[in-house]
Structure 1
Amino acid sequence: MIVFEHICLVFLWMLFCIQHSVFATAWWKQKMFILLGRSFRYYRFFYSFFAFLNLVLLLYFQFAINSPALWKVSGLLQLTSLATGLSGLVIMLSCIRKYFSVVTGIKAFAREKNQVAILQTGGLHKYTRHPLYFGTLVFIWSFFLLFPLVNNLIACGVISVYTLVGIHIEERKLINEFGESYKLYTRRVPRLIPRFPGRRHKLGQSFQETI
């Protein structure tokens, strides 16, 4: 029974990620635009709302599984995981706060005209092109190290693969949207792992661009 529940968890996480990606594609949005017409402006809001609802239900199922631990967590590992986990959470919340109205689609309810998209290169974006993804990965893997259960490992594994694939897709969209400006930005700032000013980065620079 436990094995079956973990197999279901893998399937549900994969389904969640695939659904999340498909509903965000230009092809699907074009279909929704034709179907919804002027009401399409609210698509992002309902897309985000149902994604959040599905995530809550998925996490409820995940934590309801009586999953075995892979090892016993030491005191040092607990402290380290808490420190890195809180750091990742702070990065996530900082990004979410900055893009909340855009990510959730709430701006569709505002009576202001559509604003031209601006390439974000300040703040955390000076160190990594995708700070939200970086913070998310740091947070979830820290959580796994703190609670090394099989169900948490499954979630971390699927989310990590989904994130790395999603970054490649998003990069293509950003190049199409911002053109040469984004290409120049990619030469200065690493894709995922932050690079801080003054840090020697010649060693491993090619590795940065692979992820």
Structure 2
Amino acid sequence: MFLINHIILVVLWVLFGIFHSVLAANWWKRFMERRLGLRYKYYAFSYSVFAAVTLMAILLYQVYLQSNLLYVAPAWVKLLLCLPLGTALVIMGIMIKKYFFALSGISVFYKEQPPVGELELDGMNRYVRHPLYFGTLLLIWSLFFIYPFVKNLLACLIITLYTVWGAILEEKKLSAQFGEKYKAYQKHVPMLLPRL
């Protein structure tokens, strides 16, 4: 049962990544726009709700899954790891607050619409092209080293692969949207891990 439950966890994370990628893909959005017509304005909000609910369900499954501890981290290591964990939470909080209105689709319920996206070159984007993805990686790996269970390692590996893949897909969208300006930005700022 131990092995089966961990395989289920892996499958859930893989399916989450696949659904997340397909539902956010431009080709799928164009398809849905043709199918939904005027109701398409609710697509981003519906997608955000679906993503949030499925993410919470997977996290609940993972939290309550019985798993083996890979090693016992000393208290001082756990305390030390609170620094990158706190940093990750701050980065993610800033980025979510900055983009929530536009990306969540909640703006469909307001008369005032968010401005069309511009290429962000300041703030955290001076150090890394995808600060939210960097914050995500920092968060999950900090949590793994604090709570080094097999289930958390499996989740970290899959989320890391998906995050890198997602960043590569996002890079293609941004290159198409911003052209040479984005290509010049790519040459000077790393994609996921800021330079020390």
- Give TM-score, length-normalised by structure 2: 0.96
Displacement after TM superposition at 1:68 (Å): 0.8
* Alpha-carbon contact 2:127-2:195 (below 8 Å) kept: yes
Q: Partners in 2 of 1:183 and 1:35 — Cα distance?
A: 34
| 2:136 maps to amino acid | T
* Alpha-carbon contact 2:107-2:113 (below 8 Å) kept: no
TM alignment of 1:61-76, pairs within 5 A = 61-76=61-76
Q: Partners in 2 of 1:45 and 1:114 — Cα distance?
A: 14
Q: Partners in 2 of 1:72 and 1:19 — Cα distance?
A: 35
Which residue of the partner structure matches residue 153 of structure 2?
153
Which residue of the partner structure matches residue 101 of structure 1?
101
| 1:96 maps to amino acid | I
Structure 1 SS opposite 2:24: coil
Displacement after TM superposition at 1:185 (Å): 1.1
Which residue of the partner structure matches residue 44 of structure 2?
44
| 1:36 maps to amino acid | L
Which residue of the partner structure matches residue 12 of structure 2?
12
| 2:180 maps to amino acid | E
Q: Give me the CA root mean square deviation.
A: 1.2
* Alpha-carbon contact 2:102-2:114 (below 8 Å) kept: no
Aligned-pair identity (%): 44
Q: Partners in 1 of 2:116 and 2:102 — Cα distance?
A: 12
Q: Does 1:85 align with 2:103?
A: no
Q: Partners in 1 of 2:114 and 2:83 — Cα distance?
A: 40
| 1:14 maps to amino acid | V
Which residue of the partner structure matches residue 139 of structure 1?
139
Structure 2 SS opposite 1:23: helix
| 1:47 maps to amino acid | Y
Which residue of the partner structure matches residue 191 of structure 1?
191
Which residue of the partner structure matches residue 57 of structure 2?
57
Which residue of the partner structure matches residue 26 of structure 2?
26
Q: Partners in 2 of 1:26 and 1:104 — Cα distance?
A: 16
Change (3 A) 1:37 1:10: same
Displacement after TM superposition at 1:192 (Å): 1.3
Q: Partners in 1 of 2:23 and 2:38 — Cα distance?
A: 18
Displacement after TM superposition at 1:76 (Å): 2.3
Which residue of the partner structure matches residue 121 of structure 1?
121
* Alpha-carbon contact 2:45-2:104 (below 8 Å) kept: yes
Change (3 A) 1:184 1:122: same
Per-residue deviation, residues 81-117 of structure 1 (Å, max 9, x unmatched) = 1111111111110100100112211112222356332
Per-residue deviation, residues 47-99 of structure 1 (Å, max 9, x unmatched) = 01011000111111111111110000112210121111111111110100100
Q: Partners in 1 of 2:80 and 2:8 — Cα distance?
A: 31
| 1:129 maps to amino acid | R
Q: Partners in 2 of 1:117 and 1:78 — Cα distance?
A: 39
- Give TM-score, length-normalised by structure 1: 0.90
Displacement after TM superposition at 1:33 (Å): 0.4
Per-residue deviation, residues 16-42 of structure 1 (Å, max 9, x unmatched) = 110100001111111110111111111
* Alpha-carbon contact 2:89-2:135 (below 8 Å) kept: yes
| 1:109 maps to amino acid | F
Q: Partners in 2 of 1:76 and 1:42 — Cα distance?
A: 48
5+ unaligned residues in a row in structure 2: which ranges?
A: none
